A and B are shown apart, each in its own frame.
Chain A
Amino acid sequence: MVAEAQVWKALEQIPDPEIPVVSLVELGVIRSIDVRNGHVRIEFTPTFLGCPALEVMKRAMEEKVAGLGAEPEVEVISDDSWSTDRITPAGREKLRAAGFAPPAPREASAPRLVQLQANVFRCPYCGSTETRLENIFGPTPCRSLRYCESCRQPFEQFKTI
């Protein structure tokens, strides 16, 4: 019989398809796992609704669960329960080491332009906060582009959601 801990362990092996340095568990997108009589129900919260990697993640989870000899069911929860605050401390550190500045904490109200233009975002390469916003948008919906004035390195900032 499959145990819940085994399922978590298996899902820890699935890399994020677009930022493979972090796993789905570290990204915090798995809200719950319910194991009953060989049936595994996973509640999964997308990062961005338009994320093209959703289907890939869903299939990868189903394959992992099937590999444990259980029957998978992945439910996509499209509410506000995922936030970048759910990225684990280990996940944040892996992002930073890979050159992605981790997201700022979520606030009660949605972020505003003036906050993104403030000098509070730290360069993942040299640690300076002398960085400026280059583009709110980046190569995937979850990233913005910034530039470090100290080490003259462009870098990607994980958007706060």
Chain B
Amino acid sequence: MNEQALLGLADDELVLGWRDSEWTGIAPLLEEDVAFSSIAQNEIGHARAVYELVVGPDGDADALAFDRKPEEYRCAPLVELHVLDWAHTIARRWLYEVADEIRITALKGDPDPAVAGLAAKIDREEAYHRMHAEMWHERLQDESRFRAAVDELWPYALGVLPAELRGELVERVGLAQVDAVDRGTHTDELAPLWEEMTMVRRSAPAGAQW
């Protein structure tokens, strides 16, 4: 597994973790307040573990996570989007989890045992995110607002995966292959998120103390 692909995975999980945490305190149901907070915490935990793997035992995972410029992040545009309604939020969670399952399944077969072992650990936790996404998908799949949100986010979802894994996503989601919004480009919505995400780190370069 090359480092750029691992960074793509870690950056996706970090940025989506931040986006999901935006529902903490304001989700439409108390259960979802708990669910989104817990999912966000898991995703950021996965990001940390992958950054630690990339930098090695003596490296600084925080520096990798927070000291890059927004344009240097390898996340997919799907996770950057600042979605403000429930239909788009659930559409993104569902599309992301389907794509992420395909990616993590492939990583479990990686020749590097450290990568394959971590992927297996992540997969056990992601199973609960998939259940949550599937439960909502089942509930909303016939709603026109949800369908419209899925259609709108579909080109972004394709961009989560490398070209060779997209066929499986097309099959699972049941939509036609279209031009993907690829990784490597960024939306305008990443920069404001980056400002917030790195604020403590930038304001206390020697390390914040509580």
Q: Which positions in A face B, CB cutoff 8 Å?
A: 48-52, 78-81, 83, 110-113, 116, 134-141, 145, 159, 161
B24 on interface, CB distance cutoff 8 Å = no
B193 on interface, CB distance cutoff 8 Å = no
Q: CA of A50 to CA of B122 in the docked complex: distance in angstroms? A: 10
In the complex, what residues of A have CB within 8 A of residue B34's CB?
Answer: 135, 137-139, 145
Assess the A136–B131 pair: CB atoms within 8 A. yes
Q: A135-B34, A136-B131, A137-B38 are in contact. Are A50 and B45 (CB under 8 A)?
A: yes
Beyond the given pairs A78-B117, A112-B127, A141-B125, 4 more chain A to chain B contacts, judged by CB atoms under 8 angstroms and listed by A's residue number, are A78-B49, A110-B127, A136-B132, A137-B37
* A51: contacting residue among B45, B117, B120, CB under 8 A: B45
Q: CA of A78 to CA of B124 in the docked complex: distance in angstroms? A: 12
B128 on interface, CB distance cutoff 8 Å = yes
Determine the residue in chain A with the shortest Cβ distance to B124.
Answer: A161
Instruction: List 22 A-B residue pairs with CB atoms under 8 Å apart, sorted by A's residue number.
Output: A48-B42, A48-B45, A49-B45, A49-B46, A49-B49, A50-B42, A50-B43, A51-B45, A78-B49, A78-B53, A79-B121, A80-B120, A111-B128, A111-B131, A112-B127, A113-B131, A113-B135, A134-B31, A136-B35, A136-B128, A137-B35, A145-B34
Q: Tell me, rounded to whole Å, the shortest Cβ–Cβ distance linking B207 to chain A.
A: 14
Q: A49-B48, A50-B46 are in contact. Are A78 and B127 (CB under 8 A)?
A: no
In the complex, what residues of B have CB within 8 A of residue A161's CB?
Answer: 124-125
Assess the A78–B31 pair: CB atoms within 8 A. no
Secondary structure at the A interface, as helix, strand, loop or mixed, is: loop
B22 on interface, CB distance cutoff 8 Å = no
* A79: contacting residue among B38, B41, B120, B132, CB under 8 A: B120
Q: Mark B10-41, 1 if CB is under 8 A from A, else 0.
A: 00000000000000000000010011011101
Secondary structure at the B interface, as helix, strand, loop or mixed, is: helix
In the complex, what residues of A have CB within 8 A of residue B117's CB?
Answer: 78-81
Assess the A141–B38 pair: CB atoms within 8 A. yes
Q: Tell me, rounded to whole Å, the shortest Cβ–Cβ distance linking A161 to chain B.
A: 5
Interface size on B, residues (CB 8 A): 32
Assess the B42–A49 pair: CB atoms within 8 A. yes
Q: CA of A52 to CA of B131 in the docked complex: distance in angstroms? A: 23
Determine the residue in chain A with the shortest Cβ distance to B37.
Answer: A137
In the complex, what residues of B have CB within 8 A of residue A48's CB?
Answer: 42, 45, 125
Q: CA of A97 to CA of B123 in the docked complex: distance in angstroms? A: 30
Top-7 shortest CB links A-B: A50-B45, A79-B117, A110-B127, A80-B120, A49-B45, A137-B38, A113-B131
Q: Tell me, rounded to whole Å, the shortest Cβ–Cβ distance linking A142 to chain B.
A: 10
Assess the A116–B35 pair: CB atoms within 8 A. no
In the complex, what residues of B have CB within 8 A of residue A80's CB?
Answer: 117, 120-121, 124
Q: CA of A140 to CA of B38 in the docked complex: distance in angstroms? A: 7
Interface centre among B38, B41, B118 (most CB of A within 10 A): B38
Assess the B128–A159 pair: CB atoms within 8 A. yes
In the complex, what residues of A have CB within 8 A of residue B45's CB?
Answer: 48-51, 141
Q: CA of A41 to CA of B63 in the docked complex: distance in angstroms? A: 27
Interface centre among B34, B122, B123 (most CB of A within 10 A): B34
Q: CA of A64 to CA of B134 in the docked complex: distance in angstroms? A: 44
Q: Tell me, rounded to whole Å, the shortest Cβ–Cβ distance linking A95 to chain B.
A: 19
B9 on interface, CB distance cutoff 8 Å = no
B78 on interface, CB distance cutoff 8 Å = no
In the complex, what residues of A have CB within 8 A of residue B128's CB?
Answer: 111, 136-137, 159
